[in-house]
A and B are shown apart, each in its own frame.
Chain A
Amino acid sequence: MEEVKSQNHGEISLAHCGVLFLDELPEFKKSVLEVLRGPLEDRIITISRIQASFSYPCNFMLIASMNPCPCGYYGSKEKECNCTQEQIKKYIGKISGPLLDRIDLHIEVSGVRYEKLRNQKKGETSEQIRERVDMARKIQQCRYKDNGIFSNAELTPKLIQEHCRIDDKSDKILEKAFEKLGLTARAFGRILKVARTIADLEQSEKIESMHVIEAIQYRSLDKKYWGN
């Protein structure tokens, strides 16, 4: 991924209708990462050159991974981190708040304990997971057939109001989370969309409070590492 000089499309347009995986996110140039903001929202990228400007579609799913600090052990229970505060701040600061705000699911992947590694019990197979995912997608396609969209990810603010209704209990939980985590207006819509998807995965018509709680949980990491 780099700043392209020609009129040719870049990685995000090549990832159109697919997944773009950026490993070691802070190692990318900051200017390159910040440029992702617009296309992530609009699903279209406009490249302006001297001769003309060109628009390319880029409806992609962004997956990124990073370490919490240069040594990789900040916040770990197993090993001590030997980075200075300054180093950590610089490393984490490469990912700006606005970019982070556009990522819906934040998770922390910790090391696997020995007992788990030795455990012979097999988890769910890809086939089983796929069945659930296919079902959830079908539900969405069915629900949005009159709206001209296919999935929860494409919901506009107006459609969120229509399709992501929550009860009073969930409303209270969200309100509390907002104060505690200092969430933005953008995050609000995104949490509702994620909650809608979790409900769809369970084939539940209504968004229950536990779906909202799970969705909020995926937004707590920015407070832990980025909140000062």
Chain B
Amino acid sequence: MRRYFARKVAIYLLTFFVAVTLNWLIPRFMPGDPVLRMLTRTSVSNPDAIAPMREYYNNVFGLDVPLWRQYLNYWAELLQGNMGISVWLFPAPVTEVILDAVPYTLALLIPSILLSWYAGNKVGALAARRKWLDNTVLPLGYALTATPYMWIAIVLAWSLAIIAGVFPVAGGYSFDLQPSWSLVFFNSLIQHWFLPFLSLFLVAFGGWAIGMRNMIIYELEADYANYLEALGAPRRLIRRYAFRNALLPQLTGLALQLGVLVAGALVTEIVFGYPGLGRLILMAIQNQDFFLLQGAFLFIVIGVLIANFVIDIVYVLVDPRTRTGMTGGAA
């Protein structure tokens, strides 16, 4: 058991190292120069001032040393929790900018991923044994998973926000409010949160429901189910076993989905103008903000790694077959 986890941790550390390195490399492969961009933004009129200003900014962002030094510096600062200064929101530190955005993204992603997984599995399992549910949920599920995500998001924004006017169209909270611990602000948060959440939930829900329905039907045909039926076990017991066994592939799917959905949230946040990480990534790319981009990517990498690690542990708990690999088998 300990060896298994030691190996897992080593693999995750290696993955982290490679991811951080790539993360540092990618913005530097982008065409363009962030410092030049800052200079044009400030529109300096005096040509003599440009050279010293450029030198100053290069020094601030640590771009005046050779590349290999920049890389080592990056690691050194990273381990102290410093991710540099944002170009776009100069002179705000990247850590601060990201920490402001993270709660929005997490509040959007975690409920939508987990709730859609839970509801999709439940409804899919029900659909596997009720004909009328099978005939309604399944086509709906196929339609939902097949539609392009941004289209669903736009249709929701248009129908529920613009036409019906039930929900606000964009933003994380009402534009006439400042973030505070008041009931009014909280209410506004929930209202703005609902549409992006619904769009993510709907799209993921269909896929989970279809997957679960098929897995349950497969499990109910399995040998152990037939044997239990021949021994007169009640349907309830057999379905409980089938549900649990059908859940295993769904768990793997969940782990994969957690990684993919961060990208999904990028589109969501752009469509709904939601102030989360996804929007930060877009702004960072548009402004050639190396440091913000690195920070946002780093956060995603950490999120995916943690999610996978948790699923790894959950898998060991729920599927005894993964455990035999760690002990070498008893028989």
The finding on whether chains A and B are genuine partners in a shared complex, rather than unrelated, reads no
